[in-house]
Amino acid sequence: MAGVVVAASVLAACSDDKTATTTTTAAPVATDAAPAETTLPPKSSILIGGTFDSTGPTGRPEAIKVVEAWGAYINAKGGINGHPVELDLRETGGDPAKAASATTDLLGKKPVLFLVESSQTESSQAEALIASGIPIMGVGYSPALWGGSIAAFKIECGPKPAPIPCAADNVFPITTTFGAVVDEQVLGAKAAGATKLAIAACAEVEACSQAGPVFEATAKAEGMLSVGTTKVTANAPDYSAECIKWIADGVDFIQISGGAALGEGLYKSCTDQGYTGLWGASAGSVSGKLIVIDGISLAGGLNAFPWFVDDPLVTEYRDAMTAGGVSDGGINDPTATGLWSVLQLFAKANASLVDEPTATDTLANMHTVTNETLGGLIAPTTFSKGQPGPSKNRACFWPYTLKDGKFSNPLGGLTIQCYPAA
């Protein structure tokens, strides 16, 4: 079971875009627009710290810039109840030792919120972050920090020796958590009309194939067929043999359990052999080069709200990111929308933040969140002090399809799907 836990974390975060973005503190965003008339009130500033992987194997090149853009946006609106927001955001490069050092340093600065967006290091950071008592939020997958469950195996999180831990009292998951990030692959395929599924897993990393049992169990529970997992080498010159087998088996959905380079090679070979079905990618994999492959049809689930929906709140997000200098590739990414959701929820929960606040104050405010949806940007969310751990699991997601270069939600707009159904 431990292998499956690791696998879901790795696969959901998969991305092989390597563009680097490094910074340590946020600065006001320069734009051509007239300066906002709002002057920051003379209240004490508040510090938000965090660790981010922008350059590692599963890095998000513009994640730090996304948070900086939000910081400029919120400060232009007067901060959080008049408190200007300062940012101290550290690059981990996916290196646990670097993440540990940054975590220790940042916790010593007593931030009112600690953000985590570093899927390769979050497990190793979990113990220190939980012990800090500081509110922990972010986008991630490891149950060591965020909790989770496996619906297909009827496994809920719990205290040791349970196989899956629950999120601690100071940890506030918002994006889809472990277990559901695999379920959303299958449910997204079903929503798109697929009936027979296969997994193409990178052979170089064992974790690429270890989520297969959860995928197959969920497919069976949903009345779908799975032909199993096929390991393929990411840099192979051709995948014709595998493609011919999938076509002969009647497969109409191939889950890409690897990065964009693997997806591109598979797409070319299988298209050449006559495959016309869907390709699967979910959560953090729905980004970068994979979503701009010419002609590809994708389906799956997003762990944060869809950036492509025509909705005023989504437009507000996109406008703030554009003003902050985030590229289209950085905006069109569920990790970015997840970070926006996290920060917007934190700001709303702390709308009455006291003067000279500490993490104790922001933690208490987070425990007042009740059935909050942020207008549809997150699934209904409640946090209370000492609440049962399983109730913090985030088992909802947004199904999507990408066809002819256009994204859509088969359920419409910001409609979510939960598994099992809420």
Please name the fold of domain 181-306+398-418: Rossmann fold (3.40.50)
Report the pLDDT value the prediction gives residue 18, as an integer from 0 to 100: 47
pTM: 0.88
Pick the CATH number of 2-177+309-396 from 1.10.1740.10, 3.40.50.11260, 3.40.50.300, 3.40.50.2300: 3.40.50.2300
**Nearest CA-CA partner of 74 in 61, 83, 62, 63:** 83
Helix (H) or strand (E) holding 51: strand 46-52
Residue found by looking up tokens 């104050």 in the block: 361
Q: What is the pLDDT of residue 258?
A: 82
- Compute how many other C-beta atoms are within 10 angstroms of the C-beta atom of residue 167: 27
C-beta separation of 269 from 238 below 8 A: yes
pLDDT of residue 25: 39
Note the pLDDT of residue 55: 85
Bridge-partner residues for 417, per DSSP?
397
Strands 196-202 and 225-232, bridge-based pairing: parallel
Say if 2-177+309-396 and 181-306+398-418 have the same CATH topology: yes
Are the CB atoms for 381 and 369 separated by under 8 Å? yes
Q: Check residue 262 and give its pLDDT.
A: 87
**Structural domain spans, the chain:** 2-177+309-396, 181-306+398-418
Strands 396-403 and 417-418: antiparallel
Q: Would you say 136 and 107 are in contact if contact means Cβ atoms under 8 Å apart?
A: no
Cβ neighbors of 16 (< 8 A, separation 6 or more) are: 57, 259, 260, 261, 288, 289
pLDDT of residue 33: 40
**What is the reported pLDDT for 29?**
42
Are 207 and 10 a contacting pair, CB within 8 Å?
Answer: yes
- Total residues belonging to the chain: 422
Asked whether the beta carbons of 109 and 146 are under 8 A apart, the reply is no
Residues linked to residue 155 through DSSP beta bridges, in sequence order = 150
Cα-atom radius of gyration of the chain, to the nearest Å? 21
Mean pLDDT, each 10-residue run in order, the chain (422 residues) = 52 54 41 43 90 85 97 98 98 95 98 96 96 98 93 93 95 95 93 95 79 93 96 92 98 90 91 97 88 93 97 99 97 97 99 98 99 98 93 94 95 94 73
- Using CA atoms, how far apart are residues 294 and 15, in angstroms rounded to an integer? 18
* CA atoms of 94 and 234, how far apart (whole Å): 20
**In a 3-state reduction of DSSP, which class is residue 202?**
strand
Report angle CA 383, 387, 392 to the nearest 5 degrees.
Answer: 60
Amino acid letter, 179: G
Task: Answer for the pair 50, 115: CB distance below 8 angstroms, yes or no.
Answer: yes
Instruction: Note whether 316 and 414 are within 8 A (CB).
Output: no
Q: Are 251 and 227 in contact (CB under 8 A)?
A: yes
Q: How would you write 59-120 as a 3-class SS string?
A: CCCCHHHHHHHHHHHHHHCCCECCECEEEEEEECCCCHHHHHHHHHHHHHCCCCEEEEECCC
